[in-house]
Amino acid sequence: SQQGEEDPQALSIQEGENATMNCSYKTSINNLQWYRQNSGRGLVHLILIRSNEREKHSGRLRVTLDTSKKSSSLLITASRAADTASYFCATAPNFGNEKLTFGTGTRLTIIP
């Protein structure tokens, strides 16, 4: 079964707007990661947030983590056409377990 579930499954916004995607998970984690996948390509790592962190920034990306609610959100500000892709959250269980588990993804479309 999937550890993470992204919401929404699909999102379409106008270029320049902000995009927010959410991820919920079931068990305690060591860290949570976000990846991007362009059509027909492999996944590319975007950002990692550890269980003792609440917020992290990287360029136009902002990730939050609420361990009490077992949820995370990814915000992409000032979206661009090149941001069109699928976005996946992945959860790493407590230290010592190397099985990184992915959610089902959010398909983001940026309308020029």
Partner 1 sequence: DAGITQSPRHKVTETGTPVTLRCHQTENHRYMYWYRQDPGHGLRLIHYSYGVKDTDKGEVSDGYSVSRSKTEDFLLTLESATSSQTSVYFCASGDRGSDEKLFFGSGTQLSVL
**95 vs 112, beta carbon nearer partner 1:** 95
**Which of 7, 60, 100, 109 is in the footprint of partner 1 by CB under 8 A?**
100
Minimum CB separation of residue 36 from partner 1 in Å reads 11
Three-class secondary structure of residue 98 per DSSP:
coil
| Cα–Cα distance, 12 to 27 (Å, whole number) | 30
CB-CB neighbours of 55 under 10 Å = 10
Residues in region 9-68 near partner 1 by CB under 8 A = 30-31, 33, 35, 40-45, 48
Please, are residues 49 and 65 in contact by the beta-carbon 8 Å criterion? yes
CA dist 36 and 86 (Å) reads 6
Q: Which is nearer to partner 1, 28 or 97 (CB)?
A: 97
Give the span between the Cα atoms of 92 and 112, in whole angstroms: 35
State which residue, 96 or 112, has the beta carbon closest to partner 1.
Answer: 96
Between 3 and 79, whose beta carbon lies closer to partner 1? 3
- Residues lying near partner 1 in the complex (CB under 8 A): 1-2, 30-31, 33, 35, 40-45, 48, 88, 92-93, 95, 97-105
